[in-house]
Amino acid sequence: MTTTTRPDGTSTDDANDDTHGLALALLLRRGSVYLPAVAAVPVPVPESLAGVALLEADLLERGFLLSARLRQAFAARSPEALAAAGHALLADVDEALGSDRDHTPLFRRFPESTPGNTGRYFVNRMLTLLFQHPHQPCVLCGTVGTVHAVSPCAHLVCRSCFDGSDFSACPICHRILDADDPFLRPSSRPRLTFRRRQALPSRVRVLAYGGDFAARAEAAGEELRGLLARTAALSPGETDDLVLFLGTRDRTALDWLPSDLPGRETKARVLAWLLHAPEHRAAALPAVTARLDTATDILRLLAVLSGGDPGLVSMARIAPVPRPVRRALLTALDALDPVLDVADMRRHRRAWIRAAHALHPFEYADRHPRAALAVAALRGTGLSDDRLGAALRTAAEATAGVEVTTDIEVTAGAEVTTGTATAGAADVPDGIDRSGGRITRFGKVTVNAWGHRVETALAERDIPAATALLSQRPGELLRRLDHLLRLAGPDGRVVVDALAAALPRVSPAVLLSALGAVRSRRRPGTPLRVFFPKGGNARVYVSEDTRPPLPAGPAEDAVRALTAEVVRRAAAQGPVGLAVVDSGLDGMIAPFTERTASRALVTLPRGSELPLPNTDTHGGPDTDGTGSGPAAGKILRLFLHWMESDTSGRTDLDLSLALFDERWEHIGTCDYTELRFAGTGAVHSGDLTSAPAPRGASEFIDLDLARLAEAGARYAVALVLSYNNVPFTELGEAFAGFMVRDEPPGHGEIFDPRTVEQRFDLTGTSRACVPLLLDVRARTMRWLDVVQSVSGTDHAVHRHVDKVALLGRSLNDLFASGARVGLGELAVWQAAARAGTVVVRHTDGSASTYRRREGEGILAFAARIGSPDQDPMDVHGQDRGLDPAGAELAFLVRGDIALAGGSQVYALHPAGLDADAVRLLTATDVVNALAVA
């Protein structure tokens, strides 16, 4: 058994690592804490009460609160048990926030000591680097005896010109120094810890008592069921959670395994997990093969078994397949239609050819002829007069849509004649002399694939034929809906009719994507198109939109049909009496392309726009020393932390900010090349160029939005760049985020976990990440979570500013155009479809009540929600007798309503909602609720 070090500094072994991960996953997903069971009725232990108060204070400093039940559960522990459970909980919280790492910036008195003149500071560094010699006076100040080499870089540094109490790294190369280097001295000006306001972050959460470890296993099973019901691909964080939750299940008793796993990538991971343990493989194989219903399912499974990606974006080498598994997979492939198999296989032809080598279908052609036939058609295998050829010809004769073109060769002495026959022809064609010769038949399997027929019909503008073919695959029909409507023109009734028939069979993601795309095309659009192609990274492509506009009539009919399908599916979930919707969700976007979403402290769907906490007051120097003057306002602080690994070598990540005006013209940057913008408008903490383990390195940027606005900045785009082009995935760890600071400069810890509002991981093979976009004037933050394509090394913002401007402008326009369905409007549709009464809570604290009127349709009711056409209120602006706490369905920004048990609720910030009392929904769950029953 091996021993590793946890982020909190304690030791653990591999056997307990999954338990730690499970506790952290349930803490973040449910806000629940699970403790060992106690033998008797929980009674407070007097000796533990002081410890509980200290634990409560420590959690408060991290932005978490204890519920009454959890406080009682901690108080019932012995002091030793309380200390162990409390340390474990604090370690999990610190890991989630990122406060378990050292966050010392280059300038330890940041932001006060950040140089105002980056150019002068750079010149001093270069003069020292180029002209300083040992045992010589300082080239900058001429002082003798103050120049010494620092470790490990050995640069010669003058201790008079460079203050060792302010620097945390070499002043010349900014490489992290050895902790015992004499240049590093304690700061002569310690940071003040006075807190001006005891404000809690927006993401504050009340931790609930989930029960003992048996209840933890039940909670893991509940979370697992939710993940298995997802139709779309899971995010990387949810994939990690899936593995943890599967670890609590049994591979032999499979009563927990649903018969239908709608998420294809999730299915591959689960089935691969079932086959992972050789001792349980025989028992699991029937359940595995019963759930493989396409050829691509089999390929995904092989990819995961080989350590690859179930999304088939990048295909790893197919590992050898054990014989029992190989036979089972061939049996599953043989049970499918070869024509459909070939169409699926051609989408991943190279991967399937490699998979065929591992499955050996031709060796089992007698036993699995249809599987061999599909592979032969994919590979274009030539058929001769042997056992394999006979088996394939027999299978082809019994399969509609498959043909074998046969070449006849008759050899009579030295004379050779050839001819052609169709599959199954036993005789040589007329005109070929068979007498006295040897007849040899060769052939090739051919399949008139569905995709070829579709492309042919579209090329010939045969709209009825193309629509009929696409209707066989409803998802493809919706993905090509824009193209079909353009080709059909005003006479698009055949397309709309086919759409109505196909809608009940498509996934929620495809349904919402088609709705957003078609409705945004009805309006005058921007000249740019934005693509989010499937891949290992959240890459974005922008191109000119040369498509002609959609015909108005068919487009309107299509939008009505798509919207009607959404509300029909919402209504199918069952009626509720009262629903509550927060208008603050209007800026949220319904999740899409979640497979590349970053694991984050607060799960925000890509493209969502939210108001920033109050950052209007200037954050300049504290003039009176009290921290209470008008200059001591809130500051938005961006942060970055990374740690090198053995594979990455020395790595330099850079936290950067690009600033633009109203027209998206670049007006400035704040990065290692320009440490300040507009004085204190944007201040960088300094460029660290290495991050050795276990300390790592951190960089910060402080933003005073009021001063940025005064300097003409409208948009600010945050970036993380890998200066020396090392992919994020090679690092030991890398994360970033932002916090809102109450303290004036020089006060409080540089990294205060209480003020952290968002923290997210940097993953994938990319070298440049664009996490968020700030609208300085509107005081909003749009969550982008995309990567920027870069090449070469020595990356800096000024090298990519044109691309960043194009990316920021196009994404901002895209998400504001309605091309992606909003989570707020989806919440209104679901509330209108299920509830007779809907309460809308506004951001100013007021509320509006809407009751469905007699004869009012769902769409008409939904259109009225949020409008002035509401039901009468009393003189105080409240609906008499209507208590929002009685809602059975709620979509909230903050979970500040004491909802009844069993209610379904989405809350961006769950706050005090208890997952054991209500059913907490994620944004993806809100979309997945529209899945076909």
C-alpha–C-alpha distance, residues 855 and 833, integer Å: 14
The alpha-helical segments, DSSP class H, found in 132-247 are 213-228, 236-246
C-alpha–C-alpha distance, residues 501 and 492, integer Å: 15
Contact indicator for 636, 618 with CB cutoff of 8 Å = no
Q: What is the mean pLDDT of residues 737-754?
A: 86
Query: Beta-carbon neighbour count of residue 710 at 10 Å?
Result: 14
Res 11 pLDDT > 50: no
Same domain, 67 and 29: yes
Same domain, 776 and 666: yes
Same domain, 796 and 847: no
Contact indicator for 514, 489 with CB cutoff of 8 Å = no
Q: Which domain holds residue 831?
A: 576-590+821-928
Reported pTM: 0.89
* Token pair for 490: 């005003």
Left (φ > 0), alpha (ψ -120 to 50) or beta: where does 520 sit?
alpha
- pLDDT digit string (tens) for 525-577? 567 899 898 877 888 999 998 888 899 999 999 999 999 999 999 999 999 99
Res 387 pLDDT > 90: no
Same domain, 600 and 741: yes
- pLDDT digit string (tens) for 326-370? 999 999 999 998 888 888 898 999 999 999 999 999 988 889 999
Q: Residue 5's pLDDT is what? A: 39
Pairs from 394-398 (Cβ < 8 Å, separation ≥ 24): 394/369, 395/338, 395/369, 395/370, 396/423, 396/424, 396/445, 397/423, 397/424
C-alpha–C-alpha distance, residues 479 and 591, integer Å: 17
C-alpha–C-alpha distance, residues 696 and 7, integer Å: 12
Label residue 791 by pLDDT band (50, 70, 90): confident
Instruction: Tell which residue, 232, 428, 391, 415, has the closest CA to residue 311.
Output: 232
Whether residue 205 lies inside any domain: the answer is no
Q: What is the mean pLDDT of residues 100-128?
A: 95
Q: Residue 42's pLDDT is what? A: 74
Res 698 pLDDT > 60: yes
Label residue 43 by pLDDT band (50, 70, 90): confident
Same domain, 9 and 64: yes
Whether residue 418 lies inside any domain: the answer is no
Whether residue 825 lies inside any domain: the answer is yes
Contact indicator for 88, 33 with CB cutoff of 8 Å = no
- pLDDT digit string (tens) for 396-439? 877 777 776 655 555 555 454 555 544 444 444 544 455 555 54
Q: Which residues contact 683 (CB under 8 A, 6 or more apart)?
A: 110, 111, 114, 670, 675, 676, 701, 702
Whether residue 396 lies inside any domain: the answer is no
Give the CATH number, domain containing residue 673: 2.60.60.30
Label residue 442 by pLDDT band (50, 70, 90): low
Query: Beta-carbon neighbour count of residue 51 at 10 Å?
Result: 18
C-alpha–C-alpha distance, residues 907 and 892, integer Å: 5
Contact indicator for 832, 852 with CB cutoff of 8 Å = yes
Q: Is 720 helix (H, G, I), strand (E, B) or coil?
A: strand
Label residue 1 by pLDDT band (50, 70, 90): very low
Q: What is the mean pLDDT of residues 454-483?
A: 94
In the chain, count H helices and then E strands.
27, 31
Whether residue 307 lies inside any domain: the answer is no
C-alpha–C-alpha distance, residues 841 and 540, integer Å: 35
Give the CATH number, domain containing residue 143: 3.30.40
Same domain, 602 and 585: no
Q: Residue 12's pLDDT is what? A: 41
Same domain, 769 and 861: no
C-alpha–C-alpha distance, residues 720 and 598, integer Å: 14
- pLDDT digit string (tens) for 801-813? 999 999 999 999 9
Q: What is the mean pLDDT of residues 154-175?
A: 95
| Identity of residue 761 | D
Count of structural domains within the chain: 5
Label residue 877 by pLDDT band (50, 70, 90): very low
Q: What is the mean pLDDT of residues 314-335?
A: 92
Pairs from 525-531 (Cβ < 8 Å, separation ≥ 24): 525/817, 526/810, 526/813, 526/817, 528/810, 528/813, 530/810, 530/811, 530/814
The alpha-helical segments, DSSP class H, found in 178-280 are 213-228, 236-246, 264-274
Q: What is the mean pLDDT of residues 621-645?
A: 64
Answer with the one of 535, 569, 603 that is the final residue of a domain.
Answer: 569
Contact indicator for 751, 699 with CB cutoff of 8 Å = no
Res 163 pLDDT > 90: yes
Q: Residue 527's pLDDT is what? A: 79
Q: What is the mean pLDDT of residues 108-119?
A: 94
Whether residue 532 lies inside any domain: the answer is no
Q: Residue 525's pLDDT is what? A: 59
Res 846 pLDDT > 80: yes
Q: Residue 39's pLDDT is what? A: 67
Res 848 pLDDT > 80: yes
The whole-chain average pLDDT of the chain stands at 88
Q: What is the mean pLDDT of residues 126-136?
A: 93
Instruction: Tell which residue, 355, 342, 346, has the closest CA to residue 399.
Output: 342
Same domain, 698 and 619: yes
Whether residue 484 lies inside any domain: the answer is yes
Res 15 pLDDT > 70: no
Helix axes 481-488, 508-521, angle to 10 degrees: 40
Whether residue 300 lies inside any domain: the answer is no
Q: What is the mean pLDDT of residues 743-748?
A: 75
Same domain, 745 and 606: yes
Strands 653-660, 666-670: pairing kind: antiparallel
C-alpha–C-alpha distance, residues 395 and 392, integer Å: 5
Phi, psi of 669 (to 5 degrees): -135, 165
Same domain, 608 and 565: no
Same domain, 799 and 873: no
Q: Residue 908's pLDDT is what? A: 96
Label residue 40 by pLDDT band (50, 70, 90): low
Q: Residue 630's pLDDT is what? A: 30
Same domain, 620 and 557: no
Q: Residue 683's pLDDT is what? A: 97
- pLDDT digit string (tens) for 583-630? 999 999 999 989 999 999 999 999 999 998 765 544 443 333 333 333
Label residue 451 by pLDDT band (50, 70, 90): confident
Q: What is the mean pLDDT of residues 490-514?
A: 94
Q: Residue 840's pLDDT is what? A: 95
Strands 528-531, 541-544: pairing kind: antiparallel
Q: Is 486 helix (H, G, I), strand (E, B) or coil?
A: helix
